[in-house]
Structure 1
Amino acid sequence: MRLAAKLILLFLVGLLLIVGLFAYLTIRNDRQLALAEHERYASDLAAALKPSLREAIQQRDAQQLQQVISRSTSQVRHMRIRLVEFDSLVTTEPFAENRKPLVPRELIVTTKEVTTVRMPDPTGTHTIYTYVPLVSNAESVDPASGISEGIEISAPDTEADARLHRSLLSSIMALLGVATLSGVVILIGGVAMVGRPLHHLIEKVERVGNGDFGDPIKLKSNDELGGLATAINTMCDQLANQRARLEAETESRIVAVEQLRHSDRLSSVGRLAAGVAHEIGTPLNVISGRAELIAAGQLQQQVIAESAMAIQSEAHRITKTIRELLDFARQSTPDRSAHPLGELIEQTVSLAQPLAAKQKVRIDFVQPDHPLIAEVDASQMQQVLMNLIVNAIHSIEQDGTITISLSHADSNVGYQKIAISDNGSGICEQDKQHIFEPFFTTKDIGQGTGLGLSISHGIVQEHGGRIEVESELGAGSCFTIYLPAPSRPKASETEGDT
């Protein structure tokens, strides 16, 4: 409706200008017609008076001259006839009276047969003056004769106001009639042909903005709005197809990523197998020895009880190790929740400890003064830590140390920082630019797939964090993980809970 109102207003302004210009031209044309009509009538009258006036002037008969003018004036009562001098060389008795034209001399063109001027008279009434010279340019007259007279025929322009009133009235009536008719047509057409289609288009665009690509617009018009509706419907169909394809591709990608992560987790399990076997072997030896002593029947009751307790303890130790390994290898659905990062690090270190002991590598981790919490998927974050720790173990030949620290990130407020550093062989500058790329590895064939760091990098990014690496060839490496800390509840929420 606002658009229709604007169109009507714009149309009315244009119509007003056109009608105003038409009224002006009409008034000017009426005025010119009035002047032409008066000039034609005056010219005919002057042509009839010229012979008598010339004869009176040549005979210098003032009485005859006055009679001619009086007789003509009585016959044409609405006009005034005067004998005027334009530029007389001689002044005689018959011409002694005031013969000065009422119109300024510079407006009278004596070289023309007739000069007609419209101007106010001394009383302020608009009057039409016509000046006809008694001697035309075509007639040969001796300038020494001093004849430079002419006839002034004037009449009040009484029809001027009436003409103006009629022109204005007709213009206003035309303006009102055309404006009313045009306004009704534009209003009805604007609502039916513009307003409603635009309302449907705006509603459809809003639904598209909210992700609803269904319910196409149904416009039967074949104009530009109909073409726009068709284009929007086509666009929505394409967007719906694109979204369906993206959702299918995203699901496939998620499945593939989870499979890769599970494969990487199983690969880590394989690398831990040797250390775990050693970890399980020691408790099994204890269990076997204690069982043989009990079976020999040579132990006292108290020693038998102590051996049974030792067997039970070692069995629990084996069970715990196997359970941790199975939990790490199990494929689970991502589930983020608040977890103490210190506990995740300790669990991961306990899993990697057998492999580190086999490589004669020490893992040092000191818990912070107070627990640090992060919103993470425990299984995925444990996989990240395991990848970094195993890589650190492999980078150390022997008798090395891996140091793990957990703290608040001073330069990144709102983040928890996990730093895993080693004194291994380090990474060259060229390789450091590619370490997070899939399938990039510097290990020998069969020792790694090149997916560990790439998967770890993706997991940390999905958690809203990042991994940074500092390394120097021959001087070890330090991988730093930044994870967002849980947002603190607002004071008002905390007070409301209490």
Structure 2
Amino acid sequence: MRLTAKIVTVFILMSVIVTGANGFLRIRREANLFESDMVQDVERFALLMEQWVTTELNKNGWESLQRLIRELDSQDRYSQIRWVWLDVSPPNTYAPEIPSPQLRLLGVNVKKVVSTKIRTTSGKEVLCAYRRIPLKIRTGNQVVRHREGAVELIYDLTPLNFLVRKTIINTCVTMGTLLLFSIVIMGFMGVNVVARPLQKLIQKTRRAGEGDLTGDVDLGGNDELTELGQSLNNMCRQLSKSQEAVQAETLARIATLEQLRHVDRLQTVGRLASGIAHELGTPLNVVSGRAALIASGKLCETDVTESARSIKSETDRMATIIQQLLDFARRRTPKRVSIDLHQVANQTAQLLDPLAQKKKVQIEVTDNDEPVIAFVDVGQLQQVLTNLIVNAIQSITSGGQVRIRMGHRFARPPEGHTGDADHYDFIDIEDNGEGIAEENLNHIFEPFFTTKEVGEGTGLGLSLSYGIIDEHGGWLEASSQVDKGTCFTVYLPREERNECSEKS
């Protein structure tokens, strides 16, 4: 409606301007025609007068000339014709209506018609025109003297003013009528031709902006707005198809990524198998020995009870080990919870301890005085820590140490990350192994990049880990020195910010 109002307002203003300009030009044209006619009358009359006024004045006298002028004067009700002398002043009867000095300023001494508007003592507006005629007054054949006279025409401007008023009234009536019709017609056309179609287009674009690409806008007609509506419909259909394709590709990508992460977990389980088998060997021997003693029947009731308790303790220990392994390998739905990072680190270290003992590596988790709470998916974070700790164990030839620290630290995200420099939760996994060469350090997070022997790694572990941490709003960093060791750092947003983001 705002656009319609602007169009109607512009149209009305243009109509008013055109009508007003037409009225103004018409008034000027009528006034110019009136003055032009008056000047022509004076010129014609002056030419006639100049030919016979001297003869008439010298032949028949002043009275005859006056009578002739009065006859001419009586023929026009709106003008007054007089003979005036330029060398006399009021109250002389033949003095000009305009004082002689002013007439000379107007150029009356030149043989041309001069005119000007004045207001009489009665308040009437008149137009006075003069044409100078020099006379030679004779007595017999003798020129007695030269005298300056003029034909004075006084036109009553009442008809012209009446015409002006009538033109103004007609112009105002025309403008009012045109204004009324413009408001009605432009209002009707603006609402039906512009406002309603535009409103439909606006509603369609708002729905599209909110994600609703269904429903075509039907404007009818065959104008530019209709073409715009059809183009908008085509755009929404194309966007809908593209959106469906993107959603399908996203779902496929997520499914593939989850499959890769699950495969990575299974590979880790495979690496842990030998260590866990060794870990289960000791409690199985204890269970077997205690069961044999009970079966021999040589134990007293107290020893039987003690052996049963030992069997129960060892079987609980084996069940815990197996359950940890199953929990790690099981495919689960991502779910983020608030948890202490110490708890996740300790569980992961406990799971990997058999593998570390096999290579005579010690895993040390540094406990802080206060918990480090993060809002994470526990299974995904455990997979990341497992990858990093297994890599650390494999980089140590024999008899090394893997240290795990966590806390809060001010950090600046790497280039391309959406986060700001702030305080973040961190987990350091540091080893004293072989280290990573400087030329390889910038490529370790790339998919399928690996420095391990064929069959020992796929090159996806660090890439998947980086993706998991990135989905949590954090990032991974690595620093290393050859023959001295490597430190991987996991950065995660503080728990309070993550929770607000997840709720939103």
TM-score (norm 1): 0.87
Q: Deviations over 1:228-251 (max 9, x none)?
A: 111111111011111111111111
Q: Deviations over 1:144-202 (max 9, x none)?
A: x9576442222222212201111101101111111111211100000111111111111
Pairs aligned (count): 476
Does residue 104 of structure 1 match 2:71? no
Q: Decide whether the 8 Å contact of 2:83 with 2:94 is kept in 1.
A: no
Q: Decide whether the 8 Å contact of 1:38 with 1:128 is kept in 2.
A: no
- Long gaps (5+) in structure 1: 137-144, 491-498
Q: Decide whether the 8 Å contact of 1:53 with 1:68 is kept in 2.
A: no
- CA-CA distance at 1:477 after TM superposition: 1.5
Q: How far apart in 1 are the matches of 2:253 and 2:423?
A: 31
- CA-CA distance at 1:223 after TM superposition: 1.1
> In terms of mean alpha carbon deviation, does 367-376 or 389-398 score higher?
367-376
Q: Residue type matched to 1:271 in 2? A: R
Residue 213 of structure 2 corresponds to 213
Mapping for residues 121-270 of structure 1, pairs under 5 Å: 121=119, 123=121, 125-134=124-133, 149-270=149-270
Q: How far apart in 2 are the matches of 1:96 and 1:460?
A: 116
Does residue 281 of structure 1 match 2:290? no
Does residue 119 of structure 1 match 2:117? yes
Q: How far apart in 1 are the matches of 2:315 and 2:77?
A: 145
- Long gaps (5+) in structure 2: 136-144, 412-420, 500-504
Q: Decide whether the 8 Å contact of 1:85 with 1:101 is kept in 2.
A: no
User: Secondary structure of 1:131's match?
Assistant: strand
Residue 470 of structure 1 corresponds to 479
Residue 483 of structure 1 corresponds to 492
Q: How far apart in 2 are the matches of 1:249 and 1:313?
A: 50
Q: Residue type matched to 1:390 in 2? A: V
Question: Relative to structure 1, is the Cα distance of residues 433 and 240 closer, same or farther in structure 2, using a 3 angstrom cutoff?
Answer: same
Q: Decide whether the 8 Å contact of 2:362 with 2:402 is kept in 1.
A: yes
Q: Decide whether the 8 Å contact of 1:84 with 1:101 is kept in 2.
A: no
Residue 335 of structure 2 corresponds to 335
TM-score (norm 2): 0.86
> In terms of mean alpha carbon deviation, does 210-219 or 120-129 score higher?
120-129
Question: Relative to structure 1, is the Cα distance of residues 77 and 483 closer, same or farther in structure 2, using a 3 angstrom cutoff?
Answer: closer
- CA-CA distance at 1:58 after TM superposition: 5.5
Q: Decide whether the 8 Å contact of 1:404 with 1:420 is kept in 2.
A: yes
Question: Relative to structure 1, is the Cα distance of residues 427 and 20 closer, same or farther in structure 2, using a 3 angstrom cutoff?
Answer: same
Q: Residue type matched to 2:492 in 1? A: L
Q: Decide whether the 8 Å contact of 2:108 with 2:114 is kept in 1.
A: no
Does residue 438 of structure 1 match 2:451? no
Does residue 447 of structure 1 match 2:456? yes
Question: Relative to structure 1, is the Cα distance of residues 96 and 352 closer, same or farther in structure 2, using a 3 angstrom cutoff?
Answer: closer
- CA-CA distance at 1:375 after TM superposition: 1.8
CA RMSD of aligned residues (A): 3.1
User: Secondary structure of 1:442's match?
Assistant: coil
User: Secondary structure of 2:221's match?
Assistant: coil
User: Secondary structure of 1:454's match?
Assistant: helix
> In terms of mean alpha carbon deviation, does 53-62 or 125-134 score higher?
53-62
Question: Relative to structure 1, is the Cα distance of residues 190 and 71 closer, same or farther in structure 2, using a 3 angstrom cutoff?
Answer: closer
Residue 428 of structure 1 corresponds to 437
- CA-CA distance at 1:373 after TM superposition: 2.4
> In terms of mean alpha carbon deviation, does 13-22 or 56-65 score higher?
56-65
Mapping for residues 53-72 of structure 1, pairs under 5 Å: 53-56=53-56, 61-72=61-72
- CA-CA distance at 1:63 after TM superposition: 4.9
Q: How far apart in 2 are the matches of 1:206 and 1:264?
A: 45
Question: Relative to structure 1, is the Cα distance of residues 101 and 32 closer, same or farther in structure 2, using a 3 angstrom cutoff?
Answer: farther
> In terms of mean alpha carbon deviation, does 255-264 or 404-413 score higher?
404-413
Q: Residue type matched to 1:438 in 2? A: P
Q: Residue type matched to 2:118 in 1? A: P
User: Secondary structure of 1:487's match?
Assistant: helix
User: Secondary structure of 1:445's match?
Assistant: coil
Q: How far apart in 2 are the matches of 1:45 and 1:180?
A: 50
User: Secondary structure of 1:436's match?
Assistant: coil
- CA-CA distance at 1:217 after TM superposition: 0.3
Q: How far apart in 2 are the matches of 1:156 and 1:211?
A: 78
Does residue 416 of structure 1 match 2:425? yes
Q: Residue type matched to 1:340 in 2? A: D
Q: How far apart in 2 are the matches of 1:410 and 1:386?
A: 25
